[in-house]
Amino acid sequence: MKGSEWTERANAKINLGLKILGKRSDGYHDILSVVQGIDLADTLHFKFAQHSSMTCTSPDIPCNRDNLVMRALALFSQRAPVSCQPLAVHLEKHTPMGAGLGGGSADAAATLRALNALHDRPFDAEGLRVLAAELGSDIPFLVEGGTAVMRGRGEVLQPLDWLGDVYYVLVYPDVAVSTAWAYDHVDLTLTDQNPYTTFVNSLSGGCVNCWELMEVLENDFLPVVESAYPIVATLRSHLEQTGARATSMSGSGSTVYGLFDDRNAALKAEKKLRARGHRSFFCQPLVSDTYN
């Protein structure tokens, strides 16, 4: 067993396009999305204790057994082939909630990685992915990160190598969008074959050129979220005015992002948006090795 304390980063993700292919008999939706880990992250601190507990820097986050971090703790303890000691967890929250960035899921993924490390890695990578899939659809990806095509309800992953340099400016409009609400309101008649699905389904060589992908970006949630929250469209316009080569929204929202090919231009854009009072972030992609 490792030392008595451990710190783990919980890196967020963005969806570089998202298509909803239909609703399944189990109530979930089949999706198609290129998803990527970014360097915006929460930080979790773990310490062996007499009782499992959780604290958080954000008063808006419930630290009870329903929290994904606590659920990950419980699931790991139930399934691990070793005896697991209770842990006190402290979460430093930086990723906005209800933002389409997978913040809570990333915290759960980080918890699984930390527990595995603290207990001398009783699970291999596939074992962790199986645990993660029980907790949430996007958690298997967030366990390993990098860039991948996401299919099924999110648990079917095709890892990709990322070709090209890109810098992201993310803007959170202080609107929390419920994923359930977004699915209830999205127009599933608009999800037929299109340039995005054609392009993503053609990615059989294990790599993707970022600027070819940007030419076909599409998110089925964007029209309904922009209709309900016009600030989303306004922020995308601001990003375009600051020089973004492409803009979109991550997941079911509400975070919008712009893609820049120049680091200094992206930094200036983020600074300008922050000066206007927006909660903005300069981010870069992460490779999967960053998570190990």
Which is more confidently placed, 23 or 33? 33
Helix and strand counts by DSSP (H, E) for the chain: 10, 11
Q: What is the pLDDT of residue 258?
A: 98
pLDDT at 191: 56
Does the pLDDT value for residue 25 go beyond 90? no
What would the two tokens of residue 182 be?
């977004």
Query: What percent of the chain is modeled with pLDDT above 70?
Result: 96
Q: Which of the residue ranges 150-159, 190-199, 221-230 would you say has the lowest mean pLDDT?
A: 190-199
Check pLDDT > 90 for residue 1.
no
pLDDT at 18 over 80: yes
Distances (CA, A) of 272 to 40, 197, 230, 235, 244: 19, 34, 20, 12, 13
32-69 pLDDT, tens digit per residue, is: 999 999 999 999 999 999 999 999 999 999 999 999 99
Q: How many Å from the N-terminal Cα to the C-terminal Cα in the chain? A: 17
**Three-class HEC string of 31-70:** EEEEEEEEEEEEEEEEEECCCCEEEECCCCCCCCCCCHHH
Q: Which one has a higher pLDDT value, 138 or 190?
A: 138
Closest by CA to 84, choosing from 46, 135, 43, 42, is 46
Residues 85-97 have pLDDT tens digits of 899 999 999 999 9
Q: Is the pLDDT of residue 291 over 90?
A: no
DSSP string over 135-185: H-TTHHHHHH-SEEEEETTTTEEEEEEEES--EEEEEE-S-PPPHHHHHHH
The span from the CA of 290 to the CA of 292, in Å, is: 6
- 193 pLDDT higher than 80: no
pTM (2 decimals)?
0.93
Radius of gyration for the chain, computed over Cα atoms and rounded to the nearest angstrom: 19
- Ordered by where they begin, the domains of the chain are 5-160 (3.30.230.10), 162-289 (3.30.70.890)
CA dist., res. 240 & res. 262, Å (int): 14
Dist CA 213 CA 34 (whole Å): 9
The reported pLDDT for the residue numbered 139 is 96
- Which pLDDT value is given to residue 283? 98
* Residue 292 amino acid letter: N
According to the model, what pLDDT value does residue 26 have? 86
Q: What is the pLDDT of residue 206?
A: 86
pLDDT higher than 60, residue 216: yes
- The residues, ordered by sequence, that sit 6+ positions from 52 with a Cβ below 8 Å of its Cβ are 70, 73, 74, 86, 87, 88, 89
What percent of the chain lies above the pLDDT cut of 90? 82
Which positions are catalytic? 13, 138
With 0-12 CB in 10 A as exposed, 13-18 as middle and 19+ as buried, what is 252?
Answer: buried
Q: Which of 17-26, 72-81, 249-258 has the lowest mean pLDDT?
A: 17-26
